[in-house]
Amino acid sequence: MLNYREKEFIEVLDKKLHDNKLESYLLAWIMAGYHTDTDCWYKRHRKGFLFTLGDEPCLNEVPGKALEEFLGYQKGAKGITAQEALKKAQEQYEVYHIHVTDASWSYSDIERGWKGLVGDHLLSASSGEIANIIAETIKAHYVPEGEDTTTTTTETKVEEVEKPVEENPADNLL
């Protein structure tokens, strides 16, 4: 669950950037990738599912200044690109984006950019179909407990689940 500052960060940044006709879907990836430790991943070596949904292209980067101001990253924090945020989220989650077809942007307008980010994890649905698309996607890709999870749709393998000791923007927290 997001705290007050995290919710404010998403709301304010999304409003500021919305004039660019881009959405900040990558904020969900940043929160999931850098600010969650999931029991399913670290204890059971199983990925969760993360869905973003909307009708617009994705913002390319969250600037370091925004990370400092709203998430308390140290002064001088570098920005996080959509690709970096997605890759980090994919360590613990199967990440999907659902393009909402009955909104303002058409699928053909956003397809190339989203396919470049999430590949075959780009789904499409009308507002009324979203719940079913999520349920069907989980049903199709869920691997029951005890079965081999090394053949997931992303590159991370079960043997690599120890917490990374890499440089992490979240380490810049005050």
Three-state DSSP state, 53: strand
Is residue 65 one of the residues assigned to a domain? yes
User: What pLDDT is attached to residue 162?
Assistant: 41
Is residue 11 one of the residues assigned to a domain? yes
Is residue 174 one of the residues assigned to a domain? no
| pLDDT exceeds cutoff 70 at 167 | no
User: What pLDDT is attached to residue 107?
Assistant: 77
| pLDDT exceeds cutoff 70 at 171 | no
Is residue 160 one of the residues assigned to a domain? no
Is residue 161 one of the residues assigned to a domain? no
Task: Quick: pLDDT tens for 14-50.
Answer: 665 555 556 678 889 999 999 988 888 888 888 999 9
Q: Which residues of 56-67 are buried (b: 16+ CB within 10 A; e: fewer)?
A: bbbbeebebebb
Is residue 21 one of the residues assigned to a domain? yes
User: What pLDDT is attached to residue 8?
Assistant: 64
Supply the DSSP symbol for 55.
S
Supply the DSSP symbol for 161.
-
Calculate mean pLDDT across residues 72-79.
92
Four-residue CA torsion sign, 146, 148, 150, 153: negative
In this structure, are strands 122-125 and 93-100 parallel, antiparallel, or unpaired? parallel
Confidence of residue 152 (pLDDT cuts 50, 70, 90): very low
Q: 0.85 cut: is pTM over it?
A: no
Residues 124, 55: Cα–Cα separation, whole Å: 10
Is residue 168 one of the residues assigned to a domain? no
Tokens representing 78 are 């570098």
Number of domains in the chain: 1
Confidence of residue 56 (pLDDT cuts 50, 70, 90): confident
Calculate mean pLDDT across residues 80-101.
95
| pLDDT exceeds cutoff 70 at 172 | no
Confidence of residue 112 (pLDDT cuts 50, 70, 90): confident
For residue 15, the enclosing domain spans: 4-155
| pLDDT exceeds cutoff 90 at 82 | yes
